[in-house]
Homo-oligomer: A and B are copies of this chain.
Amino acid sequence: MSLPENIQITSDIAGVIKDYFAHNNFSSVMVLVDENTKRHCFPLVEKAMPDHELIEIKSGEEYKNLDTCSQIWSELTRFACDRKAILVNLGGGVIGDMGGFCAATYKRGIRFINIPTTLLAQVDASTGGKLGIDFQGFKNHIGVFQEPHRVFIDPVFLHTLSEREMRSGFAEIIKHCLIADDRMFEKIYGKEISELRMDKLIQHSVEIKNQVVTEDPFEKGLRKILNFGHTVGHAVETFFLSHGEDKMLHGEAIAIGMIAEAYLSHKLANLKHVELEKICRYLLAVYGYRSIPDEAIPAISDLTLHDKKNEKKSINCSLLIKTGQCGFNYKVKKADIQESLRYYNQMVNSSDKVMN
């Protein structure tokens, strides 16, 4: 396995940026930040940059929409950016996805580089060229496929994250182990995040994702395995976006989705019961125990119908055949989804027993 050519993992972000701009010419350099990355991340790279202008947007998934795109396009226009301009996206998944989309559509496409500053963006959003924004409550509903000119990943930015944000990103690392590398799953199983070498795990995740994406860039088939946990997980995330006081982070929702879909893997694919139990045990230990209100279960199963991977109005899932191997295009019924969510709740309620 190897890294994609456009991705570099480094512990010297300033040096890498300097080197990049010494070897590439642009008519203007624009840097996209939000109020958090402006404060915590921008100071680490500012001096390494050539002359540039800042575009500041509001942080948060709720601003990943057309209005914010209009703001970004307006700023690019106001600074008279031409097609040889570059946009540097400094931030988490929202900044990378939305900044990339704006760059890929401004004057039919200018170059952009992503400097992901969250663990989630480093292990997931950095690879695969998926760009986009939310639309009318649907996640990443409008977008394009386009690779960043470069992605620079430096774990130094992880020091700016809360423990909860670290856990959120870690869900994608677990996912990559579950779908493609049972030996790595054994290595992380039972460990706390703080005990693990994050740079190695980031590289491992990016390499796995790269291998899958290279074989199937436009998600005709194999790439769908990256959606393990996401059919239910996205629906859970969408549901809690508009219900409940406490927002759920992406990885937290995906952890719930992975438990539900591990259950479906046991029911509909070949995942053994003992594997199902082990996966659940670990995920519950890391992600705690937020149960889903019974009355929310029908609404969440309805939301799975809107997943982009679906065809002809049926629900399409990627399910584990065993730990470390994933299949795709399993047809799942709404009733199955509801059953899997009830299984999740049951696990949460009996989690004391499960943990022993």
Q: Are A308 and B141 in contact (CB under 8 A)?
A: no
A80 CB within 8 Å of chain B: yes
Q: Are B135 and A104 in contact (CB under 8 A)?
A: no
What copy number does this chain have within its complex?
Answer: 2
Q: Are B145 and A108 in contact (CB under 8 A)?
A: yes
Taking the closest CB of chain B, its distance from the CB of A254, in whole angstroms, is 19
Given A70-B66, A311-B83, A312-B27, answer yes or no on A132-B144 (Cβ-Cβ < 8 Å). no
Q: Bound complex: CA of A80 vs CA of B305, how far in Å?
A: 9
Q: Are A142 and B73 in contact (CB under 8 A)?
A: yes
Question: A79-117: which have CB < 8 Å to B?
Answer: 80, 82-84, 104-109
Q: Are A145 and B109 in contact (CB under 8 A)?
A: yes
Residue-wise interface mask of A (122-156) relative to B, using a CB-CB cutoff of 8 A (1 in contact, 0 not): 00000000111001101011111100000000000
Q: Are B308 and A83 in contact (CB under 8 A)?
A: yes
Given A77-B135, A77-B138, A132-B108, answer yes or no on A82-B143 (Cβ-Cβ < 8 Å). no
Q: Bound complex: CA of A105 vs CA of B140, how far in Å?
A: 10
Q: Bound complex: CA of A109 vs CA of B129, how far in Å?
A: 13
Taking the closest CB of chain B, its distance from the CB of A118, in whole angstroms, is 22
A270 CB within 8 Å of chain B: no
Given A77-B135, A130-B108, A136-B77, answer yes or no on A311-B142 (Cβ-Cβ < 8 Å). no
A74 CB within 8 Å of chain B: yes
Add 4 more A-B contacts to A108-B130, A108-B131, A108-B132 (CB < 8 A): A73-B142, A106-B142, A107-B141, A108-B140
Measuring CB to CB, which residues of chain A are less than 8 angstroms from any residue of chain B? 27, 66, 70, 73-74, 77, 80, 82-84, 104-109, 130-132, 135-136, 138, 140-145, 218, 305-306, 308, 310-313
